[in-house]
A and B are shown apart, each in its own frame.
Chain A
Amino acid sequence: MNDLELISKLGQETPLTPLSELGVVRARLAAAVAAERLANARQRSTVPAPRPWPARRAACVAAAVVAASAAVTVALVSGAPGTAPRPAARVVNPQAARILNDAALAALRLPAGAPRPDQYLYVKMAYGIPGQLVIDQFWNSADGTHTSFEQRGSGKLAPVPSCVDGPDIQPAHPTKQDCYSDPAYYPDMPTTWQAMLAYLKKNYGVRTDNQPDNLNDLGKIISTLLTSTYMTPGQRASLYELMARTPGYKVIPNVADSIGRRGVGIGWAFGPTVKPGVSTVIIFDRKTYAALGMTTYGVGGSMGGEALIKMAIVNRPGELP
């Protein structure tokens, strides 16, 4: 046995890490993938200039929610009439619709308000599975024109360049590459489910034809919006209302997020072209219906997830609420 073989034998004392123990890796990458999916979809679209949106009365939305919950069958139409075969209508799961409608009502009871353009949205997230977690913190510019910051795990506070109509803005390292504005708050995001559907189609490429992959896209886009952007009560409620009207989502009555908080889940199976046998769940607090995070399950249990620990408006990067 020569020296190289001895070194090799020393290395063999460390077993190969099973994939089931790599929830942190999977969850953090999944979050980055979801974020890029959102960013790409926005980049492809022409984002209208921010404009004031009218305040809505909670009662109006509540009435709409109640009325709509009676109609639980939604036929999803693909593209323009006559351009493609009309897929068979699927039925909205009434239990899922009830929970999502309750979540919409709870959202409408949240305090109104919005960050100033110069403020930051602080987000603290845990990624992984219980016992194997990393904590990331983000200070995202409310209007996207100020340098955001992130602290991943035990790393240092790192700047994320902002963007104003083209070049990155990062004082220490200015670049000339193309960029897109990625604010933490979109004032133009609508507050009715119909307008929200149109908004997500236009800005995020959401499709509503009757395909399992589209269910996955919509669920992940909504989950990422819930955990990465500030939303007014009306905006948040309209996302829940939209999910409530979308066939394919189901209730998982008792499920735990990455940091062990138990809640009720709204889940969906991945389409056959993504990952057979894998499903993802958005987890809600049972009492407040606050979105706790998202976890993906495989045959062997949790494959990793993300849990929203804290979200708050702050005045400066690095400031803790």
Chain B
Amino acid sequence: MRRPGQRALTTADDATVIEGSWHDPDLFEALVDRHASHIHRYFVRRVGRELADDLAAETFLAAFGKRRTYDLSYRDCRPWLYGIAANLVGQHRREEARQYRIMQAALPDAGIPGHAERVAADVTAQAIRKVLAEALGALSPGDRDVLTLIAWEDLSYSEVARVLAIPIGTVRSRLHRARRQVREALSNTGAAAAYEEIMANE
């Protein structure tokens, strides 16, 4: 039960922490401090706050359960955690669709009262949000996984490939297809041009 060197492990990379947790399971809790905020936000974005607590906890429980199979050559475990999280999102497609409907209906920030340009920007931003949320909801699940992991979670192509267990070429093609669909949705409404114009004038 002694934990020699544990203090050093708290500043070590993820792979070292995971390897240490094979023998000392308490160490794994350090990964909550490091990554739970991002994993939780990922779920809030994808399936809403109601499910986020439960699924974030499930992610870390599942990761803890399979930590002995973790490939220690990957020092950063975020893609591994996102992979588990993405699988859980895949089991809640209905809730995910509902989340995009909520995004569409979200009210814009009222901005500064009396500031006409700000109000106009907010109204346009709301129009953009509605189009984007609708477009996201219309993507195929695989394309949406790639797009959100890159645009929202700042993962690289190779990391997304690891998350979803697909070749990098497939990541590229899915991203290309998803972006084309989003662009088409934006151009159909004309909202993007108005938004860009307002942003350029600020």
Question: B-contacting residues of A (Cβ < 8 Å)?
Answer: 1, 3-4, 6-8, 10-11, 13-19, 21-22, 24-26, 28-30, 32-33, 36-37, 40, 127-128, 132, 134, 152-155, 205-207, 211, 213-214, 217, 272-274
Contact = CB atoms under 8 A, between A and B. Distances in A.
Query: Which of B25, B41, B152 has the most chain A CB atoms inside 10 A of its CB?
Result: B25
B148 interface: yes
Contacts of B37: 16-19, 22
B28 A4 contact: no
B152 A274 contact: no
Interface stretch (B69-77, B111-119, B157-165, B179-187): B179-187
Nearest to A134: B54
Given A11-B148, A22-B36, A6 B132 contact: yes
Contacts of A24: 53-54, 56-57
Contacts of A30: 29
B32 A26 contact: yes
Q: How large is the interface on B (under 10, 10 to 19, 20 to 34, 35 or more residues)?
A: 35 or more
Given A25-B40, A29-B29, A272-B7, 10 more contacts: A1-B195, A6-B195, A8-B152, A10-B103, A22-B37, A33-B29, A40-B25, A153-B57, A207-B1, A213-B1
B57 A25 contact: yes
B168 to A, nearest CB: 17
Contacts of A22: 32, 36-37, 40, 53, 56
Query: Which of B53, B56, B103, B152 has the most chain A CB atoms inside 10 A of its CB?
Result: B53
A33 B28 contact: yes
A57 to B, nearest CB: 34
A290 to B, nearest CB: 26
Interface of B: 1-4, 6-7, 25-26, 28-29, 32-33, 36-38, 40-41, 44-45, 52-54, 56-58, 60-61, 64-65, 103, 106, 128-129, 132-133, 136, 147-148, 150-152, 179, 182-183, 186, 192, 195-196, 199
B196 A1 contact: yes
17 contacts: A8-B151, A11-B148, A13-B129, A17-B37, A18-B37, A19-B32, A21-B40, A26-B29, A28-B57, A29-B32, A32-B65, A152-B58, A153-B57, A153-B58, A154-B54, A272-B7, A273-B6
B94 to A, nearest CB: 13
User: 10 nearest interchain CB pairs?
Assistant: A11-B152, A17-B40, A7-B151, A153-B54, A28-B57, A24-B53, A273-B6, A33-B25, A8-B151, A25-B57
Contacts of B133: 10
Contact of A36 (B3, B6, B25, B148): B25
Contact of A29 (B4, B57, B182, B183): B57
Contacts of A16: 37-38, 41
B68 to A, nearest CB: 11
Given A17-B40, A207-B1, A273 B7 contact: yes
Contacts of A207: 1-2
A3 B103 contact: no
Given A11-B45, A206-B1, A272-B7, A28 B199 contact: no
A75 to B, nearest CB: 20
A87 B21 CA distance: 28
Given A3-B183, A7-B151, A15-B41, A217 B192 contact: no
